[in-house]
Structure 1
């Protein structure tokens, strides 16, 4: 038990970066209270405990079930790379699809303290669009997902249509693009970049090179939100990006390319 509390571990070795799980769990609890409220958080905790004890009680209140009811979108499930319809040359670097936590993302994003209307948002490896839906809550200039799987991209497109139908979008535009990450060109403007361990280090390096090339003349800060940062060393070895903070016990790392103005706030 003490090893679990005081050392870095991975809940799913090989699929998850080592981090301080106790810190992640405590921060996640606080974030759930912040966005979900006291009652629904307690019900979610009770449902989790019942599930681990194999007691079929309150399971409709599990946090992922609450998320699906709140969004009304098709973002659930896990899709392994072997089941994805992607070109063979990208399969070795692909990682599985699994929706990220809406509340973790919103907490990290809001800690940047930026003017969303001055920024574009891009999610590399956007899957079914769970984080696109979260980012679209904010008045970004645009929210764009890049997804190499045609099936996942199609689901994201359907989710975007549903969000438009229900008037859930505050961003000026919201779209999913069927493309490999390194081929996508960014407009020369301030960006918030998001990656949920979508690919291996070689592709990540290519993506970062493309970001640096496309945004070389942008003077404002460029932010890189890295969820489950399995290949964080790729970013840490680059002179143009600097690590701002760790979140959720190191389950998230936030980097920034300061730009010429050097005006950015540190996220906690």
Structure 2
């Protein structure tokens, strides 16, 4: 039992970082109780169990269906790399779209205990906009996403309009940009940066180089929230970054860049 608890594995080799899945599942359950509430979480767990044993009941309480029904956003699912409309020359450094958990994100973000109005938030490889829609719940100076796929970007724009109509935006501005993460310029102010394994090591290194250049004069900490950190060694070996903690069994890593 102890060997299982402390063993790092990945369910999807090549697509998911090795992490302690037992620890992740426990923390995910706790976070669901925190944001979803007791009964909706219990129903969601029962729905998963029913699906695994082949019982056609409680299907509407599956977590992803709860999310879509309650948020009104089109953010769930997986879009494989060959289905994404991105330039052929960039495919070798791109990753598939996979929905991220806004509850995991909110838990990690809130642990920073930052002054939100002093910070910009940027999501590199923002897909359908689930995470920067979640970030807009907080009073950031601005919330932006950068997405290479035109189709994903258009979905993100629709989702942004939805959260605005629902009056759930506390950030001073909320935008999605269709473009290349390596050429996106950041204004020289404090940032919280989020990446969900959106690209390969070569593009991540170019993004890190751009961050260093654009934010060279910023004296406040720059936070880097890395979800599914397949290429975390680039930050581990970078003397400008300090790892603050792991979350969800190592499925998330949080770094800070100090002046």
* Normalised-by-shorter TM-score class: over 0.9
Contact conserved, 1:4 with 1:21, CA < 8 A, in 2? no
Q: What number of residue pairs does the alignment pair up?
A: 259
Where 1:92 maps in the other structure, the secondary structure is: helix
Structure 2: how far apart are the matches of 1:205 and 1:23?
29
Superposed CA RMSD in Å reads: 1.0
Where 2:220 maps in the other structure, the secondary structure is: coil
1:1-268 aligned at under 5 Å gives the runs 3-259=3-259
TM-score (structure 2 length as normaliser): 0.98
Structure 2: how far apart are the matches of 1:69 and 1:113?
30
Q: Name the structure 2 match of 1:262.
A: none
Note the residue ranges of structure 1 that are not aligned, 5 or more in a row: 260-268
Where 2:46 maps in the other structure, the secondary structure is: helix
Deviations 1:10-31 (A, max 9, x none): 1211110000011101111111
Structure 1: how far apart are the matches of 2:57 and 2:6?
32
Structure 1: how far apart are the matches of 2:96 and 2:2?
31
Where 1:56 maps in the other structure, the secondary structure is: coil
| Deviation for aligned residue 1:2 | 5.8
TM-score (structure 1 length as normaliser): 0.95
Structure 1: how far apart are the matches of 2:165 and 2:102?
20
Q: Name the structure 2 match of 1:264.
A: none
| Deviation for aligned residue 1:6 | 2.6
Deviations 1:94-119 (A, max 9, x none): 11101100110000000000011100
Q: Name the structure 2 match of 1:263.
A: none
Structure 2: how far apart are the matches of 1:85 and 1:106?
29
Where 2:47 maps in the other structure, the secondary structure is: helix
Where 2:65 maps in the other structure, the secondary structure is: helix
| Deviation for aligned residue 1:148 | 0.2
